[in-house]
Structure 1
């Protein structure tokens, strides 16, 4: 009995090859039914395949990185566990030098200073080259630094450098000379203070350097970098501050001094006033003073004084501004003085120069009062009659 005879008359079988031939026709029908051009469909399919491949690659890379991190952590753990005790102590405990540096605290910066002593003339020449890595005291991150130099053996003589604007690494390139006897060298100390200049507020100290001359080899020229220490505010004895403005009109020959206010004056003397004097050729010439402010160490004056001063005499005039105080039990005594003019130094000279450079404009500035003895010594006042100027 054949195979054809074994099958039922109502059944028919389709060969396998005949069934597979229907697939291409189905895909073609679906492709034809999509209402899009073929180039757009091909682009969509390629983009989708690219996105899928990219996602798979990203997942594989992330898994590889996670495995590498786990392996590194395991290796480090094993390495520390197998390490000897000496190696662990070396890694954990800091050196003695590191501990000393940590105890010293943050540095205030560095100064490059040169010292040269002349044994014949007994003069010490101090050269202040530059500063670096100063610490800003304001949130802006910058400062207006300047340096103040003096010797402990002669604290009355102070040299102040120029103010350098908006920098933490000023280049000074200034020098000054101090008269120091050879017998005073073992106990003399050179003090260099770096301060942040503020026109309408107290100057903030940024750092201080103290160089003992007795331990320095002054037989040769010394030039090196020094670390700035923190400012020694305990040894500073301020006598107070005074704010006033200057205005000069060359065409009219008039100098106007406006005494604004003072602060931080001596507490024992409750009453205070300000005296403004002009010296011509180091001789007393003109004088005016403010009213007395009682029972306050921060008096407010706001009084203006005008002096006739021809421009031809501007080089020969010194302006002396002094603050006086008195109480019921004592007569008036000077609390502090300031000397301005072409022979002045420091911020007083800068204020006077700014007044001449900006004619007709009032320029106000705070000044730290200096000791009366120091100003009188710098003024070197001559005795004589008051000299009147023409048209004064």
Structure 2
């Protein structure tokens, strides 16, 4: 019988079952070394997992709530910025930063004004206190502002303040007195224009304020901040009216359009001189122009002047008449108060007036017309600045 010790070195026996069994795992070793019963260890692991999941859920909920609050605040900010007239904060805090309302880009500007009306003497005292957050028109970001004040009921009396150099926030501390009968208060309107002073060019309007006296409580002194609006509001509201007649005389090869300028009324306030200019447009190009005499110191001038424009009969569908009222202010050059266009490109009453003229040969047709904004008419016409086309002489 051969024993293990007697076996030769070259021979090897099969390994025992104990030798073939793998070593215990790392987790199994740790599990065996913990001096706790298995049920207690499992309880601890389940509790830790529960706490971890609860913490993650709380974090996600908090993030969602924060996002909802931010969205809600954003909506409230946009709504407040849109409703600029729904708050009276500017009456007591005009220096409030407009960035809170999202209006910093507009730079509307504010003006503090006081109104005091004496019912015995029928005098209105207008006090300009100060202005803030005006719009810069110059390249250096500043302006040389001053104020121009007048009443629609007395357009020839204008008060101008002194010029303040290189500033967008200024203190006026100036006042002026206007004679306003009590019967005219419901229709009168106070106009305050803020302009940028220029030495060698027309003064540029910055902002404008319109205060209707009929809706203001003048039984006691009013002093408050007003939000300034865009310039040109008073001019748009009171452009005036013009009455003229049209008549055309057909003849061999040509037509003669006769325009008789009769009178105007309700022209813009503050005009010292006014006149009417008539220009013939052929194929949207400027042709002959004629103008009336100048009428001084009146907002309702009477002209009664006739002008004749010869037109080729084949071009009647391409002819327009541009009628404009011009005026001079104190120490300023002439500027258009309002315009009208008559012809096939006209609209409304202007087109009807032109059609009535063509339908009644040799018969004058007179009509009143409300003047339109010069910018609006020029944009509608899209006038081409080119060489004047020769027209047949009369």
Q: Same fold by TM (over 0.5)?
A: no
TM-score by length of 2: 0.41
TM-score scaled by structure 1? Answer: 0.41
